[in-house]
Structure 1
Amino acid sequence: MKKLMYIISSATVFIACESRTYEEISDKTPIAEVVTYNKDVKPIIEANCISCHSPGGPASFQPWTSYNQVKNNIDKIIDRINRPTGDPQKMPQGGSLSPSQISIITKWKADGLSEN
């Protein structure tokens, strides 16, 4: 009986060491449709960037409150969201976008930066 309990607990620990989120698994499928700013990118920017990149925010010197502002800064945005954890220039500060959010922003650039 002790041997069986040891095997079960060992297997549980081994399995628990592998932690994958739904987003990590689901990001393996490429985004099929054309990504647009209003439909796909704007909600990500509003949820994760506007608190700093808007008037009155700590990064108000570089606002991202409009399509043109985000479009004109897309290379900087992609660079910053792809930086490794711990890099002081990683955005958003104190957090990270999900792999699917990063894919959407990257694909938006590849698709031609369409507004609608």
Structure 2
Amino acid sequence: MKKAIAFTILLAALTSCSDSDTVQDIQTPPETGTPGTDPTVTTISYTKNVKSIIDANCISCHQSGRSAAFRPLTTYAEVKTAVENANLLNRIQLQNGQQGLMPQGGRMSQTNIDLIVKWNTDGLKEN
């Protein structure tokens, strides 16, 4: 009798799954979270995602009165210009020990690099 009840419960559990859910539906959560930590987020913008990375990794040198003041990275326009005209993407993607790596203190995380690259690919949106 116990085996029959257990079998019935198991059978009910297996047949209660909806066949309308595809593997894609199950594996792809709704678009929420933070780009880089949640791969389903697709919109990258300077204000929401890139500014904090630049502030944490670049402006200690790239601002007025600092060693790299000649190439400030304190505003959207300045960072956009650096991506478009000053080889910023290539420099942040260099490996530790390679000439020209930015930031000079060591390579930032691959997640941050990927976000900046995606921001460029997405059209360098501000907001």
**Distance apart, 1:31 and its partner CA:** 5.5
Post-superposition Cα deviations, 1:39-66, rounded to whole Å, max 9, x if no partner, equal 0000000000000000011100010111
TM-align CA RMSD:
1.8
1:69 aligns with 2:78: yes
Q: For this pair of structures, how many residues does the alignment match?
A: 90
TM-score by length of 1: 0.72
The 5-angstrom pairing of residues 29-108 of structure 1 reads 30=39, 32-75=41-84, 76-108=87-119
Higher relative contact order (CA 8 A, sep 6+): 1
Structure 2's unaligned 5+ residue stretches are 1-35
TM-score by length of 2: 0.66
4+ long deviations beyond 2 Å: 29-32
Structure 1's unaligned 5+ residue stretches are 1-26
Contact 1:74 1:109 in 2 (8 A): yes
- Counterpart amino acid of residue 61 in structure 2: C
Contact 1:31 1:104 in 2 (8 A): no
Larger radius of gyration: 2
